[in-house]
Structure 1
């Protein structure tokens, strides 16, 4: 596999094939956000976080029909290009109800913990993780093979959970959610695609859970 997940703003995207699903990752905007285009065998696609630089996102999409755009959470760096990309593609917008009011583009479809986001012949499972924001969500793609694929927004990164502004209550909620809903349910082989920076796996991060809890961030 030549895919590394190492992308930079202004640089090329990176693409991998997963049992009929194509995942393309690109970095955009001043906060170096990652956006992910998922396309399955039907030719339909889903975009995760229309973060910035709509012209680059639309160039990546090309003529691929995008059925849905998921915004992982309400922070502005994750939806700066949402209006333009939605207008160009006609895609339905998706978010959690706790964060949808903070996204200026109206949300067409609200999703809850345990729900499903569908496009083409593919279904992604929704995990609601509270702490970075009230309505942050992660998405799980369970391929036919042993390796699930997890798109975490800003809830889980290499080296720790997302930013909770040093609020102990928010950190405790996010940490508990990540442990019980992610690490306790998914195997070490799970590939993690974060909202910023490089990819990781749950197996790489799992040995450090106690360290994260002790430091409080």
Structure 2
């Protein structure tokens, strides 16, 4: 099992990125202001092709991270404004294709060239990511799963799952129930405790750390 020695995922706005080197994929995490958003640059080891998860803000920071290699794809995990503030400029500078779920795409400030649904695959070079549609934080929120088959999957959850609980459902009991149902059925049930969680804000976690608290989250309602 190789989860990338030395990587912690603890990044701060204005600070350095953290890099995880996997056999087939390099994951670079950076925090941008003013809402402490996480952006993730994925690079295929075999081809050098790159994919960005959430062009949240700080265009210059993101373009420096991308470098001269170029960017093939930007995936927007959901439609909220703090996750798309650099999207127009990043796409204009790189010509990257844009990916989002159709239910959120109309409110994203760049047309979605490649809409995706639950179970679809997104490729970056020779690496395949699977789309997981999670309803509740927004109607069209998506997570991306990279499972290299070594027992330690990697899951980019946007604002649907954080250390300590699910994403904000803004006091909507039905949305909370839907999000919890999707998290349990599509994330916690099929994936192992070793699954590493890369959220849209803040520190990383694992399913093993969070799993014992599912009943507690249900009971508190947020």
Work out whether the TM-score is over 0.5: yes
Matching of residue 23 in structure 1 with residue 27 in structure 2: yes
Q: Deviations over 1:69-106 (max 9, x none)?
A: 00000000000000111111111000000000010111
Check conservation: 1:19, 1:144, Cα contact below 8 A.
no
**Residue 44 of structure 2 aligns with which residue?**
40
What is the rounded CA distance, in whole Å, between the counterparts of 1:14 and 1:90 in structure 2? Answer: 25
TM-score (norm 1): 0.99
How many aligned residue pairs are there? 217
Query: Structure 2: 5+ residue runs without aligned partners?
Result: none
Check conservation: 2:24, 2:127, Cα contact below 8 A.
no
SS in 1 for 2:26: strand
Give 1:119 deviation, angstroms: 1.6
- Structure 1 range deviating more: 130-139 or 56-65: 56-65
**Residue 113 of structure 1 aligns with which residue?**
118
In the TM superposition, structure 1's runs of 4+ consecutive aligned residues that sit over 6 Å from their partners are: none
What is the rounded CA distance, in whole Å, between the counterparts of 1:20 and 1:168 in structure 2? Answer: 41
**Residue 108 of structure 2 aligns with which residue?**
103
Give 1:18 deviation, angstroms: 1.4
What is the rounded CA distance, in whole Å, between the counterparts of 2:48 and 2:217 in structure 1? Answer: 40
What is the rounded CA distance, in whole Å, between the counterparts of 1:14 and 1:140 in structure 2? Answer: 19
What is the rounded CA distance, in whole Å, between the counterparts of 1:136 and 1:144 in structure 2? Answer: 25
Q: Deviations over 1:1-58 (max 9, x none)?
A: 2111000100000001112210000000211100000001210011000000000000
**Residue 156 of structure 2 aligns with which residue?**
151
For residues 64-83 of structure 1, the aligned pairs below 5 Å read: 64-83=69-88
Give 1:196 deviation, angstroms: 0.1
SS in 2 for 1:66: coil
Query: Structure 1: 5+ residue runs without aligned partners?
Result: none
SS in 2 for 1:105: coil
TM-score (norm 2): 0.96
**Residue 205 of structure 2 aligns with which residue?**
200
SS in 2 for 1:114: coil
Give 1:118 deviation, angstroms: 1.0
